[in-house]
Amino acid sequence: MRKLSITPKGFLRVAQTAFGSLYLIIITGSLVRLTGSGLGCADWPRCSESKFVDVSNSHAAIEQINRLFTGVVAASVILAVLLSVKLRPKRRDLVAMSIGLVIGVLVQVLLGGLVVLTGLNPFSNIAHFLVSMVLMSNAYMLLQHARIFRTEETVLPRREPEISNSKILLLVRIVLFLTGSAVVTGTVVTGSGPHAGDENAIRIRLAINTAAKIHSITVIICLITALVLFLMSRRDQVSWRILAHPLERFLAIGFLQGLIGYVQYFSGLPVLLVAVHVALSVAVWLGALDLYWNSKLPKIS
């Protein structure tokens, strides 16, 4: 029997598939909540006490499709693990990151069950989303390491010169922290608002206007910090050459996300705009992570 093997280019495609599937399930998961289908299947892992699979109504069908898509995600991350161990030369970083995705998906499956069994408790919902963001971070790092492996296979290209301005490097880390804070406060807004996944689901006992103000302040501080970083980087030739594109992408997505956030809030939180806002929140976080990655470019062994 022919032994299973994989090229660096082939593994990169596997990493891209895992990344895409993890992003997509965040969107499908948000649609479950936004369509009020969170308890379309009131049991777990069965849809109901009498049926394992039930598509007899729209809410059950939406929840069931999201659960079934979890199988696609699981297959993609398991494949990443199986193929990462076949890479030559061996790459422990790729194996470890692939295993991290499998562990993360298992945690998500358990959290998904907890969300249903607790009647869509907002804090279990928040944990479910935040673990998704951790998974996306893992998938992003796997993708970047796989790209480098495809290009150089064993060594990371050395960038000469590297960023030496400590203030700029500190600002990059502050932007990453503030972006993460904005994501967390955004989940609190959702947990306080009307889109809890079911009309009878409990909400966080915090007025949505208060939660929205806290979230918007976090976003504004984050964007102002990113603008300061932008201006400082332009004065440093080395930093600008390295950070220009990641910074421009982050600011573009960040301001678009902020605009959509204000429009959705003052238009009564329409489902479509909220769905776009959720999808872009992942993009904003990945943009901050990309900014950090480009500023640091850690050596891979």
Q: Which residue has the higher pLDDT, 247 or 118?
A: 247
pLDDT tens column, 273-287 = 999 999 999 999 999
The structure tokens 């996306």 sit at 136
Q: What number of other Cβ atoms are within 10 A of residue 103's Cβ? A: 12
Q: What number of other Cβ atoms are within 10 A of residue 160's Cβ? A: 6
d(CA 151, CA 37): 44
Give the pLDDT score at 156. 53
Q: Which residue has the higher pLDDT, 134 or 61?
A: 134
Contacts of residue 164, defined as CB under 8 A and 6 or more positions apart, other chains included, come to 238
89: preceding bond cis by omega (within 30 degrees): yes
The domain boundary residue, chosen from 109, 125, 152? 152
One domain, residues 120 and 186: no
Instruction: Judge whether 75 lies within some domain.
Output: yes
One domain, residues 131 and 223: no
One domain, residues 237 and 124: no
Give the pLDDT score at 49. 66
Residue-wise DSSP of 171-193: HHHHHHHHHHHHHHHHHHHHHHS
34 band by pLDDT with thresholds 50, 70 and 90: confident
Q: Rounded mean pLDDT of 83-104?
A: 93
Instruction: Judge whether 60 lies within some domain.
Output: yes
The domain boundary residue, chosen from 152, 185, 205? 152
Mean pLDDT of the chain: 88
Instruction: Judge whether 226 lies within some domain.
Output: yes
Question: What is the chain's alpha carbon radius of gyration, rounded to the nearest angstrom?
Answer: 21
The CATH number assigned to the domain holding 126 equals: 1.20.120
Give residue 206's domain range: 166-296
Listed in sequence order, the DSSP H helices in 5-57 are 8-34
Give the pLDDT score at 301. 40
Give the pLDDT score at 43. 67
Q: Closest by alpha carbon to 232, among 159, 144, 171?
A: 171
Q: Which two tokens stand for residue 44?
A: 């777990």
According to DSSP, residue 199 is labeled: T
Instruction: Judge whether 158 lies within some domain.
Output: no
Instruction: Judge whether 118 lies within some domain.
Output: yes
One domain, residues 134 and 184: no
One domain, residues 47 and 107: yes
pTM, full prediction: 0.89
Give the pLDDT score at 58. 77
Task: Among 5-19, 80-94, 192-206, 244-258, name the one with the lowest average pLDDT.
Answer: 192-206
d(CA 27, CA 283): 12
Domain count, the chain: 2
One domain, residues 125 and 185: no
66 band by pLDDT with thresholds 50, 70 and 90: confident
One domain, residues 260 and 290: yes
Give the pLDDT score at 2. 53
Give the pLDDT score at 65. 81
Q: Rounded mean pLDDT of 33-38?
A: 74
Give the pLDDT score at 14. 95
160 band by pLDDT with thresholds 50, 70 and 90: low
pLDDT tens column, 125-148 = 999 999 999 999 999 999 999 998
298: preceding bond cis by omega (within 30 degrees): no
Quick check: 272 pLDDT over 80?
A: yes
One domain, residues 201 and 71: no
Q: Closest by alpha carbon to 58, among 45, 78, 39, 80?
A: 39
299 band by pLDDT with thresholds 50, 70 and 90: very low
One domain, residues 98 and 184: no
d(CA 191, CA 185): 10
Torsion, Cα 34 37 42 44, to 10 degrees, reads -70
One domain, residues 40 and 146: yes
Quick check: 298 pLDDT over 90?
A: no
One domain, residues 231 and 279: yes
The domain boundary residue, chosen from 152, 176, 202? 152
Instruction: Judge whether 53 lies within some domain.
Output: yes
Q: Rounded mean pLDDT of 232-243?
A: 94
Instruction: Judge whether 130 lies within some domain.
Output: yes
Instruction: Judge whether 157 lies within some domain.
Output: no
Quick check: 155 pLDDT over 80?
A: no
One domain, residues 28 and 70: yes
Quick check: 300 pLDDT over 50?
A: no
d(CA 2, CA 36): 49
